[in-house]
Amino acid sequence: MKLKEKRLSTETLYSGSIVTLEIDQALLPNGDKAKREVVRHPAGVAVAALTSENELLFVRQYRYPMAEIVLEIPAGKIDDPTTQPLENAKRELLEETGAVGYSYVPLGAFYVSPGFTDEIDYLYMCRVDHFESQKLDEDEFVNVERIPLDKAVGMALNNMIPDGKTQTAILKTAMLLQMEK
């Protein structure tokens, strides 16, 4: 079956500080036309950082769209498109937790919801070398937690960690370390 769609037109309805909303007309493989609602996003990074005691670093922060405090690995947007994902991952880890990491390993790209948004998150794992002080933005409020990796795996498998990128990063980290043994 032919799958590819072709852009016929695009209109930007909103361009904000995080998202841009585009309404496009697309040509479908069968020749029909369809509307496509697309939320453009600058991409993000997230880091599974392991301490020397094999604890993962987490942050709890209020996520306004969910109206709840969510447990996540340190993460953030790529604000400057000329920077590399890895630089941003190191920066976010330091800002949110004060940790300086080493032995970064890419855990791959992560499309968050390819039906409506082009957001890609770049996931990493690393080891924590040492801690400095957090460098939070003025309007950023997060609490840092450490959870043993084994416990975090159990939490992910028992639906106690609803954040998607965090589930994936925990499970990938655990499986990759298991394979090293």
Cα separation, 139 vs 124, in Å, equals 25
CB of 137 to its own copies, least distance (A): 11
Q: Which residues, in sequence order, are CB contacts of 164 under 8 Å at separation 6+? A: 110, 112
Read off the tokens for 56: 């993962």
3-state SS, residue 79: coil
Cα separation, 125 vs 127, in Å, equals 7
Which one of the listed residues 11, 68, 138, 180 is annotated catalytic? 138
Q: Which of residues 7-26 bind its own copies (CB under 8 A)?
A: 13-14, 16-19, 21, 23-24, 26
Length of the chain in terms of residues written: 181
Tell me which residue has tokens 């498998």.
157
Q: Which lies closer to its own copies via its Cβ, residue 13 or residue 52?
A: 13
Residue 32 makes contact with its own copies by CB under 8 A: yes
Please name every residue paired with 21 in a beta bridge, in sequence order, or none if there are none: 14, 39
> Are 38 and 11 in contact, with CB atoms under 8 Å apart?
no
Contact letters (x/-) for its own copies, 68-107, by CB under 8 A? -xx-x----x----------------------------xx
Choose which of 84, 103, 132, 176 interacts with its own copies (CB under 8 A): 176
Choose which of 54, 62, 80, 150 interacts with its own copies (CB under 8 A): 62
Could you confirm whether 138 is annotated as catalytic?
Answer: yes
Residue 30 makes contact with its own copies by CB under 8 A: yes
Q: Which lies closer to its own copies via its Cβ, residue 18 or residue 129?
A: 18
The span of 50-58, 81-89, 91-99, 166-174 binding its own copies (CB under 8 A) equals: 166-174
> Are 148 and 50 in contact, with CB atoms under 8 Å apart?
no
